[in-house]
Every structure is written in C-alpha cells, then in structure tokens.
Structure 1
Amino acid sequence: MEAVTAAWERYAAGRTPRRTHNAAGANTWLNWTQYADHGPDESLIGKVEGRHVLELGCGTGCNLAHLSTLGAQCVGIDIAPTQRKKAESRWGHLPNLSFQTAEATEFLATHPDSFDAVLSIFGPVWFTDPTMLLPLVRQSLTDGGVFVFSHKPPQLDPQPGEPLREARAVSRWDHSPREWTSLLASARFTNITADVIDPPDGKHEGTLVVRAEA
C-alpha cells in the first residue's frame, strides 16, 4: 500500500490546478470527462440537494465542491495525503464538505448504508479490482442510491490489472460497457447504463460513463 500511496503522491504533484472559472464563468462545476467544458453535468446523479454524497479519489475536491454548493452533504476521500491538503485549502470554507485521506476499499468497508450517491471520476473504480470494490460500493449505498463513475474507454486489447503509465505501482482495470454492466449486475446493482460519450471536435478519445442504482 505504501508504494501505491507514493505513486499517487507523485502523480498528484505533477497535476495542474483546476481553473478558477469555466467557460460559462462559474467557479464550481462537475466534469465527468477528461475535457474542459464538455459532457454531462450533475444531472446524472439525479437529486442533489440534501443527499449524502461520497467521491472516491476526489483529488483536490473540485467536483465535490460543486455538489456542496447545490446542497449536498459531501465527503471526499483520496489515498494521496497532499490531495486532502489541497482540497481543504481551496474548498475548506464551504459548508457540508469534508475530505479524508483513505484507501477506497478500507473506507467503504466501514461505512455501510451511509451514502445516497457514490462517485468516481477517473478514480479508484478504474484502479481497483471490481470484484472487491463493487460489492463494497453497493453496501455503502442507501436503498435506491446511485453509483456513477467515468474513465477512458478500454484499449483495443484491454488487460485487467495492466500497470498505469502515470503511476507504475498502480494497476488499471479497463472494461468495456458490456463488461461493466455484467460486473455491476453481479454485485446486485440495477438500472445499469454504460455509454461512451463522444469527444469534442478535434479530439479522438471519448469517455466511458457508467451509472447504476442500488
């Protein structure tokens, strides 16, 4: 685990801070894709106000901060300690928003029936064995809760557990929409959708977005 944490610390150190405003002039927003000002918004989650939301791999907290401004009770976890410091420095003034340093499976195992929504945006769902992670997400959701995650589409020859280029101690699980649907159904999720969102003009790689309900 120390090697994984160190890998994500190195990765975080090389990341550029998120812009203070998007193209529409907003200072908070939710972005599911790897492209600025592109893709769906928080409507994928459904109702936000008053709901308890957990983000796995929250990074510097920008997506979760947006949900907090909409009235959600938010918790963000990230395995890299410096990410928590960055998140609290930027968003610590917002109400109903907290950040913790934690590994996803360990955190989920101790929080059954705690959240109305669990999110992972290019986060641990992509980097954790789904046969271990998905049942833990399922048990952490309240009845009717929603699970939404995104990552890049699988490579032409996906290899579950393939090392991540940016953090060599980390493995990546590349699954197709059909494979994610099967894995989620096996973990007792329902109303599953899995689609690849087309990229903006001039780009060639889309974004896989998956949604399921408890």
Structure 2
Amino acid sequence: MSDTTAWDTYARRKPGGRREKNAKGETTWFNWTQYPDHGPGIEVLGAKAGASALELGCGTAGNLAHVATLGHRAVGVDVSPVQLKAARERWGDLPGLELHQRGALDFMSETADRFDAVYSVFGAIWFTDPDQMLPAIRQALKPGGVLAFSQRPPVEGCYGCQASYINQADDPNPLVVKRWDHAPDAWTAMLGQHGFQTPIAVEIAPPEGWKTGTLLVRALAPTP
C-alpha cells in the first residue's frame, strides 16, 4: 500500500481542515501542537521580512497559509492529492503560496532553491528516516537557516522506527506507515552528528486536562 493511499485515507478520515478563525479571531495562524490555541507560533522560525520557508508534509496548509500572509515565500510539499486539493481550494489564491505534490526527499533532491527555514508540524520529518531526512534538509537550507519540527513525544522505551496505524472506514485492517520516535537528547545528538548547530529539543506541556505534550525540535544549518 503506497504512502499516497495511506495519507489520502488519513485526509478523508479527518475532513474539515482548520477552523475559520482561532480564539483571537485571526483567520490564519501558526500552531506547532495538536491542541488549538496552544503553544508557540511562527516566531520559532525566526523568519525575517521576505524570508522563504519550506513545509514538509504541509497537509491542508493551514500553517503555510499563515507564512504566506506575513509576506514570506511559503512552499509546501505533500504526497497526498486529497490534502493538497483541500489546501488549494481554501488557500490557493494567497500570494507567495506554492504547493507541490511530491515526497519531501524527492522535492529537496530536485529543487535548486535554498530556504531560510524548513519545518514540519506532525509531518514528513516524523515519518522519514532521520539519516535520510536530515542531510537533505541541511542541503535545502541556506547557511544559518532554521530547521524546526514538532511531533508527539515518544512512548518511554519505544524509540526508533515505529508503526503508525491509519484506520479505513470500510476495512478492519488499518494501513501502516513508519514513524521515527526519539527522546529529546537523541534528537539533539543526531542533529549535531549531521552538522546542525545549537540543537534544542523540548517538550511543550499539554493544556490542562490533557496528558500528551508536544515535542518541539529546532536547530540551525551550519554557517561557513
């Protein structure tokens, strides 16, 4: 079963996309966590005026739309045509927004562009072997550019390649995709090994009444 099938199935199981407005009444916003109106925002990317940002696994492009509305070049890639169709229907007219149906590694290997920031929110970085993903991101970043990504923290003792299950409505057998779970110190060590500078990995506590936090990782591409 292809990843496209799995992620198309995921998209159909979670229809609707982002709310029309957040708690502040904003029509676009950036959210790193799985909870609405919670956690840090786009400031994590440190993007200056006119910056370029690449989102790996952009889904329906809610975060990417916010990047574009701030005047940045916002490039998103996703393998799922269902996700991208929803993204284009809602955000396709935004200046500076570009959407590509490609795998993250394929896109980065093919483009000559270099970005001020590369990021992923519960996206492709979580679902790709870091030993393949991190060198590709380093190549795609400008010197000193920001890498940032978020995902669920690992279950204690369950590290490395794990299985994620995507249920199909009419099939008792779920689709399976691989994800890579690591503790914060393991992520910072790997980032250092791949040449990234000042790596930081922290767990954002969940809102009151919830148990699962969000792992947020950030590092800089090396400078000459």
Which category of TM-score, normalised to the shorter sequence, fits these structures? over 0.9
The residue number in structure 2 matching 1:88 is 88
Alignment partners' CA distance in 2, 1:48 and 1:10: 36
Alignment partners' CA distance in 2, 1:184 and 1:111: 22
Alignment partners' CA distance in 1, 2:28 and 2:80: 22
Alignment partners' CA distance in 1, 2:25 and 2:131: 41
Alignment partners' CA distance in 2, 1:100 and 1:18: 20
The residue number in structure 1 matching 2:13 is 14
The residue number in structure 2 matching 1:198 is 205
Quote how far apart the aligned CAs of 1:4 are. Answer: 1.4
RMSD across aligned positions (CA):
1.2
The residue number in structure 1 matching 2:52 is 52
Alignment partners' CA distance in 2, 1:147 and 1:71: 20
Alignment partners' CA distance in 2, 1:52 and 1:149: 16
Alignment partners' CA distance in 2, 1:159 and 1:111: 32
Q: Contact conserved, 1:127 with 1:171, CA < 8 A, in 2?
A: yes
Q: Contact conserved, 1:122 with 1:150, CA < 8 A, in 2?
A: yes
What one-letter code is carried by the residue in structure 2 that aligns with 1:115?
A: F
Quote how far apart the aligned CAs of 1:157 are. Answer: 1.8
Alignment partners' CA distance in 1, 2:120 and 2:7: 15
Q: Contact conserved, 1:129 with 1:173, CA < 8 A, in 2?
A: yes
Quote how far apart the aligned CAs of 1:74 are. Answer: 0.8
The residue number in structure 1 matching 2:139 is 139
Segments ≥4 residues shifted beyond 4 Å: none
The within-5 A match list for 1:92-103 is 92-103=92-103
What one-letter code is carried by the residue in structure 1 that aligns with 2:10?
A: Y
Quote how far apart the aligned CAs of 1:159 are. Answer: 3.6
Quote how far apart the aligned CAs of 1:111 are. Answer: 2.6
Quote how far apart the aligned CAs of 1:113 are. Answer: 5.4
The residue number in structure 2 matching 1:123 is 123
Q: Contact conserved, 1:112 with 1:139, CA < 8 A, in 2?
A: no
Quote how far apart the aligned CAs of 1:126 are. Answer: 0.7
Calculate the TM-score normalised by the size of structure 2: 0.92
- Structure 2 residues not aligned, in runs of 5+: 167-173
What one-letter code is carried by the residue in structure 2 that aligns with 1:22?
A: N
